[in-house]
Structure 1
Amino acid sequence: MAVSLRQDRSGGSVDHFLALLQDRLPFWLSILHDLSHRTGKGNVSDNLLPIARAGIDYYLQVQGAALPAFTSPSVTVRFRQAVRDTGLGPCAETAPLAAYLAAEQRLGRVGAEVDPEASARLLIAGCFHRAYIEMFMGAEAGPAREVSAREIIRELRLEPA
Structure 2
Amino acid sequence: MAVSLREDRAGGSVDYFLALLQDRLPLWLSILHNLTHRAGKGSVSDNLHPVARAGIDYYIDVQGAALPAFTSPDVTVRFRRAIKEAGLGPRTEIAPLAGYLADEQRLGRVRADADPEASARLMVAGCFHRAFIEMFVGCDDAPSRDASAREIVRELRLDPA
TM-score, normalization by structure 2: 0.91
Aligned-pair distance for 1:70? Answer: 1.2
Residue identity in the other structure for 2:156: L
CA distance in 2, matches of 1:18, 1:89: 13
Unmatched tracts of structure 2, length 5 or more: 1-7
Q: Which residue of 2 aligns with 1:117?
A: 117
Q: Which residue of 2 aligns with 1:95?
A: 95
**Helix, strand or coil: the match of 2:120?**
helix
Matched to 1:18, the amino acid is: L
**Deviations for 1:83-110, whole angstroms, at most 9, x for unmatched residues?**
2333210000000000000000000000
Matched length:
154
- Tell me, in whole angstroms, the C-alpha distance in 1 between the residues paired with 2:29 and 2:116: 18
Match of 1:85 in 2: 85
Structure 1, unpaired ranges of 5+: 1-7
Contact 2:110 2:159 in 1 (8 A): yes
TM-score, normalised by the number of residues in structure 1? 0.91
Q: Where has structure 1 moved over 6 Å in runs of 4 or more?
A: none
Q: Sequence identity of aligned pairs in percent?
A: 75
Residue aligning to 1:134: 134
Q: 1:37-52 to 2 correspondence within 5 Å? A: 37-52=37-52
- Structure 1 residues 29-80: Cα deviation after superposition (integer angstroms, max 9, x where no partner): 0110011000100000000001000000000000000001111211211222
CA-based RMSD: 1.3
Question: Counting helix residues as a fraction of each chain, which structure ranks higher?
Answer: 1
Alignment partner, residue 143 of structure 1? 143
